[in-house]
């Protein structure tokens, strides 16, 4: 998950959580490059735990805060201290945080207004959706120092296919937001304004939809990728029954017939 040699202040790096209405925002706060270190991962894990317990949150945005990079990868000063005990001291915990981000029950968006390099791009790939400002560069750069973007290799392959993913892994070369959009590595590109502004508008649209249906929809899309077709279809039948049992569906139908906005309550 390596990305840059510039070190962040381990003690002060954090992920700042702000919940406003039905949207939660996590701002990475790890210096200009938002390098990934132990403190940042612990803080991000804590923020994700708090969000998961907030029943009213319908969408999450992860962004680079005031840094000039979304995230430029791991703090190489930490990597230099790891060897045989890397799994115990870094790999397993880092993987757990990325899995927790990927498995958040509500939709998640990465707002990429600065470079997302190495582990920074891996963080973005653990989100459901990615919005990138025009001209910003992204890369899985680990091979440049003999490292490996392990999580990124798996997640990016599911988005853009094996050949393109291998090219990015083997060369470590960056691509622009324009290329990432054409390949399907990101969902939207911010032509005017920032990726965070576009992400906030997207989050507002998501939050206005049925929260239960969005959570179940996320579960089914993940099941379609992770399991056998028949098992995923069985899960879809159960999810559909939950929707028909919900108050939200009946509210949505009533609102449609009355020509008024629906007031979803997530149940």
Alpha carbons within 13 A on the beta-carbon side of 28:
32
What is the pTM (predicted TM-score) of this model? Answer: 0.88
Q: How much is the average pLDDT of 167-177?
A: 96
Per CATH, domain 2-207 is 3.90.226.10:
yes
Task: Point out the catalytic residue in the list 142, 167, 197, 251.
Answer: 142
Neighbours of 137 (CB within 10 A): 19
Is 20 considered catalytic here?
no
Per-residue pLDDT reduced to its tens digit, 116-143: 999 999 999 999 999 999 999 999 998 9
Per-residue pLDDT reduced to its tens digit, 51-101: 999 999 999 999 999 999 999 988 777 766 766 667 777 778 888 999 999
Cα Rg, the chain, nearest whole Å: 19
Token pair of 256 as six digits: 């449609």
User: Which residue in the block uniquely carries the two structure tokens 């009213």?
Assistant: 56
């Amino acid at each position: 998950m390596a990305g840059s040699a510039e070190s962040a202040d381990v003690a002060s790096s954090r992920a700042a959580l702000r919940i406003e209405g039905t949207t939660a925002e996590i701002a990475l706060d790890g210096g200009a490059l938002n390098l990934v270190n132990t403190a940042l991962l612990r803080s991000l894990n804590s923020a994700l735990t708090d969000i998961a317990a907030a029943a009213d949150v319908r969408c999450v945005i992860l962004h680079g805060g005031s840094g000039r990079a979304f995230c430029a990868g791991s703090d190489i000063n930490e990597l230099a201290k790891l060897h045989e005990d890397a799994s115990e001291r870094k790999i397993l915990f880092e993987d757990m945080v990325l899995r927790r981000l990927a498995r958040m029950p509500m939709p998640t968006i990465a707002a990429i207004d600065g470079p997302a390099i190495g582990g920074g791009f891996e963080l973005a790939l653990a989100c459901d959706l990615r919005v990138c400002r025009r001209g910003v560069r992204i890369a899985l750069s680990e091979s440049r120092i003999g490292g490996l973007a392990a999580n990124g290799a798996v997640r990016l392959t599911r988005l853009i296919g094996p050949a393109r993913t291998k090219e990015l892994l083997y060369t470590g070369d960056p691509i622009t937001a324009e290329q990432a959009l054409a390949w399907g590595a990101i969902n939207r590109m911010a032509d005017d304004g920032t990726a965070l502004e576009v992400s906030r508008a997207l989050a507002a649209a998501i939050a206005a939809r049925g929260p239960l249906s969005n959570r179940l929809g996320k579960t089914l899309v993940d099941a379609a990728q992770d399991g056998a077709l028949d098992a995923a279809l069985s899960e879809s039948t159960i999810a559909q029954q939950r929707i028909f049992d919900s108050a939200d569906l009946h509210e949505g139908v009533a609102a449609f017939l009355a020509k008024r906005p629906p007031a979803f309550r997530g149940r």
